[in-house]
Amino acid sequence: MSTAMVRIRVLLARPWIWSFLGALAVWLAAELFTGGQGAGELLTATLSFAVFMVIVGIGQMFVISTGPGNVDLSIPATIALTGAVAMKTMGGADAMILPGMLAALAAGAFVGACNYGLIRLLRIPPIIATMSANFLVMSTAIAYGRGLKVKPPPLFADFTTAQVAGIPVLAICTAIFAAVMGVVLHRTVYGRSVHAIGQNRRAARLAGVAVDRTRFLVYVLSATFAGLCGALLAGFSGGSSLSAGETYLLASIAVVVIGGTSVAGGRGNVPGIWGAALFMYLLEAMLNTYGAGAGLRLILTGLIIILVITIAGGDRPQR
């Protein structure tokens, strides 16, 4: 008995477990209402949408982990731009899928490099730099896409919507992707450097950590993941759209924080992002099935998020 107790206690001490418990509770609440009907469909739908949030959330998590003040607000515009880049490059032809993906990723990386250029060379605080970049990138996306909706190549659209036994193929790929990024965060020099910088940038520099390179890569990584998300999202939803990234501005930060990453930096968490993304979508689905009006839905969303963060303990106070 005691070993089981110890195991449970160890599990509860993990900051990511709460987002999963929250997701489970919300799912059960939704199923309770419908009497278990469509439980599988709800999960499938949730997984399909959560995937995109997880991809951008991981990039945002790396940024936030490099310490207070670091955040990427250019994600929405990057998603819009890269979606358009991917669709136009592919031009509806299956043969151009790979070049289209690469073009989207490259466009994302370029946005990230510009972000860090603003932060480092012009010494603009990250929150302002990435917000301004968001405007610039968005107008680029408008000029580039001209509001035309290019359809994805059929093969690409099939891939982004494919399912195996009710589980979206994209979700499986993203799970593997998240696992790899978890290893990068905890077991590589790069991940350790991110955490060191997040705790104390000055001490990190004096301990031999390559601070500038690490921070540069963090912003490039975040925007590149937004590019990946933008391309996949365009395929998934039958074409790029300028508003595709809108919801990811604050939600990408929310999933990182609910997932147990320290807002003060220095402690990142990958599994929690999955839990938090599922939680956010299930919460919305639950409130929809309960037939709550828009106003009530927003209030409940806010309150439940506060509840989960409070139970999870949030950030432990530092000495």
Partner 1 sequence: MSGSKRQIVRLQGVAKRFGAVHALAGVDLDVEAGQCLGLVGHNGAGKSTLMHVLAGTLAPDRGAIVIDGAPREGQYSVAAAHRLGIRCVFQELSLCPNLTVAENARILHPAVKGWGWRGRAGRMIADKLDEIFPGHGVSADDVVGDLALGKRQMVEIARAFTVTDEPLHLVILDEPTSSLDSVTAEQLLVFVRKIVDEGVSCILISHLLGEVLGYCDRIVVMRDGQVVAARAAGEFDRHSLVSAMGDVAEDKKTAAHEARSANRDAAPVCVRARPRGKAAGGELVAHRGEIIGLSGLAGHGQTELLLQIYQAAGRRDRDTEVTGPVALVAGDRQADGVFHLWSIAQNVTVRSMRRMLWHGLIQPAREAAMAADWRQRMRIRTPDMNNPILSLSGGNQQKALFARALGSDAEIVLMDDPMRGVDIGTKLEVYDIIRAEAERGRTFLWYTTEMDELDNCDHVYVFRNGQVVADLPRGEMTEQKVLQSSFEQVA
Residues that bind partner 1 (CB under 8 A): 183, 187-189, 192, 195-196, 199-200, 202-204, 206-209, 262, 266-267, 318-319
With respect to partner 1, which residue has the nearer C-beta, 54 or 204? 204
Is the C-alpha dihedral spanning 119, 138, 102, 271 positive or negative? positive
What sections of 66-210 are H helices per DSSP?
Answer: 75-90, 97-121, 126-145, 154-161, 169-187, 189-199, 201-206
Q: Are 46 and 227 in contact (CB under 8 A)?
A: no
With respect to partner 1, which residue has the nearer C-beta, 34 or 188? 188
* Helix (H/G/I), strand (E/B), else coil: 80: helix
Rounded least distance, CB 178 to partner 1, Å: 17
Rounded least distance, CB 15 to partner 1, Å: 12
Rounded least distance, CB 270 to partner 1, Å: 15
Rounded least distance, CB 225 to partner 1, Å: 20
With respect to partner 1, which residue has the nearer C-beta, 29 or 210? 210
CB contact burial 147-179 (16+ within 10 A = b; e otherwise): eeebbbbeebbebbeeeeeeebebbeebeebbe
With respect to partner 1, which residue has the nearer C-beta, 88 or 195? 195
Is the C-alpha dihedral spanning 264, 270, 272, 274 positive or negative? positive
CB contact burial 83-114 (16+ within 10 A = b; e otherwise): bbbbbbbbeeeeebbeebbebbbebbbbbbeb
With respect to partner 1, which residue has the nearer C-beta, 192 or 297? 192
Rounded least distance, CB 10 to partner 1, Å: 14
Rounded least distance, CB 72 to partner 1, Å: 22
d(CA 281, CA 145): 29
With respect to partner 1, which residue has the nearer C-beta, 187 or 303? 187
Q: Are 145 and 240 in contact (CB under 8 A)?
A: yes
Among candidate residues 64, 18, 44, 53, the one with its CA nearest the CA of residue 267: 64
Rounded least distance, CB 313 to partner 1, Å: 15
